[in-house]
Structure 1
């Protein structure tokens, strides 16, 4: 394992670094302590040639100019909360409604965890390097209650496994849902649509949403729908079965396949390059978003490549969206004395 650290820039007088981790197999991961953003993941293909398999930028300035959460942490509460409202112990909190099309609260607000400079420490072991990002989210930040002490660990090991771990504790009751929001294209970030990728999800049910993208509260079967990825399916084939070819749904993990404490969540495969990515997690669900909104604005990534709709997809392991307002969903509540802790592995290789 090797590492390099270079200055990426500054934000409000705070130094932003770019940390690159590499292993013996030719896999490289670059992360920055601004928003815990994963800027690059280079993975060899079947032919031995490496490609960058996440959408992103080569400079801090581009990230500061705005982006659709390319590679960033989303929090304090990822995904959506209806009308930006939730109640704890008979007190109702009003958050920002920062998603214009739906008028809902999204990913922690307009200044969520993705827009802060984090402190960090490095941990080196025999077979891995871990970057422990940390910050204190003060009581009332973005409208959320409780001072939250958060650590987000991103690490690479010699087995081509990328680790996303989250740990937090609070001094008063709050809600929390943290995810990494990378956009993947296993053919390469500049290779066009992911419609040719094959996807398998470890889920039998999903939570349907209303027009405002808030879950209705129902839990429905995937069988006989265009959302059925219980066995490997070409994404483009299933896109033909849903309106506008648009996927942005929460899939409930069935826990049928386990590796120790981890549950199988997803397997993504690009037949052309031979690259695959298997996702394992301790979370109860995964959000599959196929990037259908990427054409809403002109996003020019590394080397000036323009990212179009379906140019990258997200597989976000998470708690259920709007769970603060749905009593039958897994609770996102965190109380003093409790530890919020979840782990996810993205395992890369070729077949």
Structure 2
């Protein structure tokens, strides 16, 4: 296979002025280099697979058009040490052939679970592929995480990004309607990963797209039980033994789901037993307003991640089913070695009348935005 490598470099001058009102204060100008690297690394089902690297001079993000994937995120700690904080493989081609629990992938056409792989829309019952026991999970046997997206890197002012599009045909994995999905994954100069989804359909269908990155702010040195979490969430949706929502909307007060003040994850997992794989509720009415939903801190490294979203909830998953998994850099991932914050509509929403509707009709546009903002304790 012949490799193709393309580089796009930009230079920007950033001006920092003191907040002091005295006019004598000196203004400092810092030059920042932003770079996109695009490299063909494989072919899959007749399509070229690329690795894209977005670098803002402080942190970098590795993407691929296979699965709409975020494969690596290199972020500095409080000492300036740059380490990958995403569970992954060493290389993109490994994602083509090795099973994995949706590391960094775009999950769709509908993320999360649909009970028994069935739903009714406009009086017609649809049967989906079941790939999680008797249930449908993250789009099925070959969901969007296993598709090669059409991709194009770009720059927009001081932002680096890759635009990716996938057209899902009518009937794929059992879903009705041809769905055109586009996502933009961007890295900004202030160390924010920004993801924006849009989708349109040719006939009524359901859609719920998200990113499924597993984070470990320690630089993947062990489990994430020492991470501190704070959720701006007053409610969550309880689940049954199959992790399907019961239909209840429950107050977090007096439960292990109450992260409204910062809590050490290990303490909360000990209280609940087993770990979290639940939908935390951000909103009960849809709006396009971006809201601060989660803050995660790793005390030892000083790394901090703040998550913002305009969606209704986030699936909080603590890597409960990972065991002896051969990951990148010779590391063996174990239970609770990563956590996911999957911004989304509520799980199995099509089968619960009191949940926000996941239905998308012709002429409508599905839109969804996520931001992961990285910093260090000062």
TM range (shorter): over 0.9
Instruction: Output the CA distance in 2 between the equivalents of 1:315 and 1:336.
Output: 30
Structure 1: 5+ residue stretches without partners: none
Instruction: Output the CA distance in 2 between the equivalents of 1:53 and 1:175.
Output: 32
Moved more, 53-62 or 207-216: 53-62
Aligned to 1:183: 214
Which residue of the other structure, out of 129, 136, 143, is the alignment partner of 2:174? 143
Could you say what secondary structure the match of 1:67 adopts? coil
Is contact 2:51-2:92 (8 Å) kept? no
Instruction: Output the CA distance in 2 between the equivalents of 1:254 and 1:324.
Output: 17
Which residue of the other structure, out of 328, 337, 351, is the alignment partner of 2:354? 328
Deviation at 1:91, TM superposition (A): 0.2
Instruction: Output the CA distance in 2 between the equivalents of 1:293 and 1:174.
Output: 31
Aligned to 1:252: 281
Deviation at 1:305, TM superposition (A): 0.7
Instruction: Output the CA distance in 1 between the equivalents of 2:167 and 2:129.
Output: 20
Deviation at 1:23, TM superposition (A): 0.4
Which residue of the other structure, out of 245, 262, 281, is the alignment partner of 1:232? 262
Instruction: Output the CA distance in 1 between the equivalents of 2:160 and 2:92.
Output: 23
Instruction: Output the CA distance in 2 between the equivalents of 1:95 and 1:164.
Output: 27
Aligned to 1:69: 102
Could you say what secondary structure the match of 2:329 adopts? helix
- Residue 312 of structure 2 is aligned to residue 284 of structure 1: yes
Instruction: Output the CA distance in 1 between the equivalents of 2:93 and 2:283.
Output: 41
- Residue 160 of structure 2 is aligned to residue 134 of structure 1: no
Is contact 1:119-1:135 (8 Å) kept? yes
Structure 2: 5+ residue stretches without partners: 1-33
Could you say what secondary structure the match of 1:99 adopts? coil
Deviation at 1:254, TM superposition (A): 4.7
Deviation at 1:303, TM superposition (A): 1.6
Aligned to 2:112: 79
Could you say what secondary structure the match of 2:271 adopts? coil
Instruction: Output the CA distance in 2 between the equivalents of 1:254 and 1:77.
Output: 19
Instruction: Output the CA distance in 2 between the equivalents of 1:202 and 1:83.
Output: 31
Question: What TM-score results when the alignment is normalised by the length of structure 2?
Answer: 0.88
Deviation at 1:126, TM superposition (A): 2.2
Aligned to 1:207: 237
CA displacement 1:65-96 (0-9 Å, x = unmatched):
11000000110000000111111110000011
Question: What TM-score results when the alignment is normalised by the length of structure 1?
Answer: 0.95
Deviation at 1:134, TM superposition (A): 0.3
Deviation at 1:210, TM superposition (A): 0.5
Bigger relative contact order, structure 1 or 2 (CA pairs below 8 A, ≥6 apart): 1
